[in-house]
Amino acid sequence: MAISVAWMAVRGAVLKRMAAGECVGAVSVICTDKTGTLTIGKMQVVQVEAIEPQHLKECYRIAALCNNAVVIDGIASGTDSTEVALLEAAMQNGLDKTSLLLTVKKMIEIPFDSDRKMMSVLLWHMGGGEAKPGELLSKGAPEVILKKCQISEKSMEAIMTQQVKWAENGWRVLALARANIQTPQEEIEKLFAENEDYDLVACELERNLEFVGLIALSDPPRAGIADAVAACHRAGIQVVMITGDHPDTATAIARQIGIDGNQVMRGREVDILGEDGVTKLPAFPSIFARVSPENKLTIVKALQARGNVTVMTGDGVNDAPAIRRADVGVAMGLSGTDLAKHAADLTLSDDNFSTIMEAVKEGRRVYDNISKFVVYLLACNSAEIWMVLLALLFRKPPPLASTHILFANIIADIPPSTALGCEEAEPDVMTKGPRPKDARLLSSWNAAMIVVYGLAIAGMSLFPYLFFFNDRNLTKLRSEAFVSVTVLQLVLAFLCRSLTRPIYFSGNFYLILAVMISMSAMLLGCYVPVLNDALELQPVPLMGWVRILASSFALIVVSEILKLVKRTSRSLV
């Protein structure tokens, strides 16, 4: 597990809880943000349309001033890619934000949030320039802005038609609006001072806005994201896009990257249905648009109630409850807030969806390797127990002395089992479905393999001991039994590299090295005079080695038959 955690960190997935590294391998649904995770997170203004041609410059002015991005050495800079893109567009069209701010004072900002879906700034005239004595500039979701504007039904229909057309290209569409503020500055300051709830003040100010225009921004999908989504589908994992964007924008991006866009649910529909209603949906949607942080939490709970193991990504403070609730919470390392990172189990240092898939693959590899580790160790130890019990059943002395058992455990258990933890992922690890949520590590089949392997090793090692038993050559017979059980355990290490595929010897240098070390230690214990006396061993004769090699081949045959039964039964199910 520790090796896996280090491997994930190198590839951009930093785990906070080690147990999450194994849990992520059982994920059946990934709920992911769109912007910056599925897309590159680099916005670019592609279209601007003013309600009147003469208002085009006003569109860029609002884009520059209703904006927290700043100009540093002539370059737009900020934490929000949308605001940086808007400021860049204004600069490219001849507007200098630094010069504009010399004529106005930014008095109040009513920030954007996922509930309001708009942002406004209140500017005050400073004795020159274009700003009115008091002016409110707003940008946000068109359907929200338009409700606050005095505009004809015909114009509103034309605006919404244009929004849908742009959204179908996968563009994010913002509406721009303004209003003159006649209320004196002192009264507004008093209004804000007396009301802690900015939303109430906003409702007063953001009335009777004048619609100015629409602006469209493009944020294309990341390179390779379609392949990552396809890999999810092959692995039996559903990808659910959750975004605050317009449904048409989300659907367009989803179709570009291979997410099913036939069923889209809006945040307000989630509010209406509630957790129980979403849980009972016949088919769970792959796209949720115009969602709030509360909607995210509802979606996670609904998925878990349907028996899914869920990943939830997020970057904002309000995303923390959903991240914490998910089976594996994922925060964005580049754009995420400290609270989101604190709530998460895993942080993406590159904010890339493909990194989640790498973590899922690693999680599955870890679980598989733990299974191999358990089967190997329990089979090896049970073989030694079976040998002693069967010998007692035949009224013979134990075939292994206590020093033999201890020595075998040191050289044949620890190095190979540790090396099995370094085994690479199997070829089909990302083409089989996620394991059930209630799956046991020691499954019925794994338990059967442990019993069969244990009995096979014990029987093959014990048979020569019983057949040639003689009190006068007890040390010789015990030596052969010790070497036999040790060699068969080392052969079993290769057999346990896969619990379903045929034996193979290529790859996993660590296992090859571990087996060489174990074999060397065993040979030293048998053939070095002083050491073999201490361990009560002696050299094994040639015919003994012939029997051991024959037993090794027989163990391989038993294993291959066992794996064939497993593969056949799985294909028939």
Write out the catalytic residue numbers.
33
Q: Biggest alpha carbon distance in the chain?
A: 114
How far apart are alpha carbons 357 and 363 in whole angstroms?
A: 10
Whether the CB-CB separation of 354 and 16 falls below 8 Å is answered with no
How far apart are alpha carbons 24 and 21 in whole angstroms?
A: 6
Query: Tell me, what amino acid is at 391?
Result: A
How far apart are alpha carbons 549 and 559 in whole angstroms?
A: 15
Question: Token pair for residue 173?
Answer: 């569409």
Question: Token pair for residue 315?
Answer: 């970057």
Whether the CB-CB separation of 100 and 250 falls below 8 Å is answered with no
Question: Token pair for residue 147?
Answer: 């409700």
Q: Is 399 helix (H, G, I), strand (E, B) or coil?
A: coil
Whether the CB-CB separation of 168 and 160 falls below 8 Å is answered with no
CA angle 528, 531, 532 (to 5 degrees): 75
User: Using CB atoms within 10 A of its CB, is residue 150 exposed (0-12), middle (13-18) or buried (19+)?
Assistant: exposed
Burial 407-418 (b: 16+ CB within 10 A, else e): bbbebbbebbbe
Cβ atoms < 10 Å from Cβ of 141: 21
Helix (H) or strand (E) holding 447: helix 444-467
How far apart are alpha carbons 201 and 196 in whole angstroms?
A: 9
